[in-house]
Amino acid sequence: MLRKYFLLINSNNVQQKYIIFIGIIILALFAGNFAYPNYFNKGVDFLNGKFHWTLPHFWEKPYVLGLDLQGGVDLTYQADLSTVSDKGAAMSGLRDVIERRVNLFGVSEPVVQIQGQDKLLVELPGVKDVQSAIQMIGQTPYLEFDEQRDPKETQTILDKIKEVQDAQAKKQDISKIKDWQLALQNPYFKPTELTGKYLSKATVAFDQTTFKPQIQLQFNSDGAKLFENITARNIKKPLAIFLDGYSIIDTNGDGKIDNSDLYAPIIQDKITGGTAVITGDMSVQTANDIARRLNSGALPVKIGNPISQETVGPLLGAVSLQQSLLAGIFGLLAVVVFMIVFYRLPGLLASISLVIYVALTLSIFKLVPVTLTLAGIGGFILSIGMAVDANILIFARMKEEIKQGKSLSVAINEGFSRAWPSIRDSNLNSIIICIILFLVSTSFIKGFAVTLLLGIIVSLFSAIFITRILLMVFIGQRLEKFKWLL
């Protein structure tokens, strides 16, 4: 099949090969300017200033940099799974909700990943302050639905709160007060079995009669049963919804829901089916805020403060990025020198193809986009070396064909077609390994796998297509007597 493809580009068809060559040059210029548009845009600014033109800049799209290259915060949380039976599902739900919560604040390319059985890794590139990051996620992001206490119980707690406050005012040891822990509880509401674990989603809708905004809650099957029991025993009573210990619809911030709170959800009747509606005199903005807080706080398990935290400063990230770029440039130059020294003119053409390969690959990294980390850049640098493997196999085969007395055009065709099986098998094995690494490894290794995978795919196009066209254009019958260049 590949031999048929090679025959499509006939080295004797001058017009065909030059049209393809011009197309490659245009593609290379576009990819190079997209990968690094600074020089092009500076030239545009110079021409616009000198001749009063209005030429547009080339499209600028920044690379997406990971935590280790642009700085940021690395947090590790430990979830409380003591009351959870399905730990795997609980951690998956926790990861999804935390990821949604982080995305609400516009963090670029966050990483939220489960580690082990009960730990959650949160990487926030671009965030420089650890405390801000903790506040962003929420120290105790836990959603609960609380029912009203009876007056006697409320009064008991209020009395205990006053007793503790008086002791604190007198600088007495509150641990000596009987049942002093009651003062830590909400005097007006007590927790129910219903938590954010059972909430599927909250959405904003509009009443078909009044067209006022309202909030629709959808519980899962287990939550529907719990909600039915809770509403059945609390008809005409408020149901408080707390996020991180604060009511999400407490308008005056007093921690309780009463007549002063315009948006207090009052249970009108027993609710079945797992769907509920919160109505009231609320604006669209308020309804959206409440729905957003419900969705972002529907955590299936509790997490406390992070058990470990690490900040990577932007300066350290900039140094890492600079060193990585230098490593890439030096690696590219080393490969170019090797190819020219050992393979002469074909090596030079392969080096030109390699430069085009770098521009194409970096452009793809921008378009996908790929989050570049130190490991990812390492994968890309490795792919540069692997990109010339195909050329080496092709050139070695060409050398054998020339020794057998064949013409350059025939040697080129035979070199590419006969080297293809080895190129195909070796690169296919590498692609399979990259896919496995991406599917089963951590985020650090995934960055390496993605960049290496894309690099291998583009290198096949570069070696088989671009290098071949360059050889056909620049190596012709005139070089038959200068075989030392080959």
Burial 162-193 (b: 16+ CB within 10 A, else e): ebbeebeeeeeeeeebeebebbebbbbbbebe
Among 13-27, 75-89, 93-107, 126-140, top mean pLDDT goes to: 13-27
Question: 457 falls in which pLDDT band (50, 70, 90)?
Answer: very high
Weakest mean pLDDT among 68-77, 132-141, 405-414: 132-141
pLDDT, one tens digit per residue, over 212-233 is 898 898 999 989 999 999 999 9
pLDDT of residue 258: 45
| pLDDT (mean) for 252-262 | 46
Both structure tokens of 164: 């503790």
pLDDT, position 443:
67
- The answer to whether the beta carbons of residues 201 and 293 sit under 8 Å apart is no
CB atoms under 10 Å from CB of 356, counted, come to: 23
Q: What is the pLDDT of residue 202?
A: 85
Residue 483: count of CB within 10 angstroms of its CB? 12
pLDDT given at position 303: 75
Q: Is the pLDDT of residue 339 over 70?
A: yes
Assign 259 a pLDDT band (cuts: 50, 70, 90): very low
Report the pLDDT averaged over residues 258-264: 45
- Tell me: pLDDT of 6 over 70: no
pLDDT tens per residue, range 267-314: 888 888 888 888 777 788 878 877 777 776 666 677 777 888 877 776
Rounded to the nearest 10°, the torsion over CA 121, 123, 129, 134 is -40
Query: Stretch 398-420: mean pLDDT, rounded?
Result: 84
Name the residue among 465, 473, 462 with its Cα closest to residue 409. Answer: 473
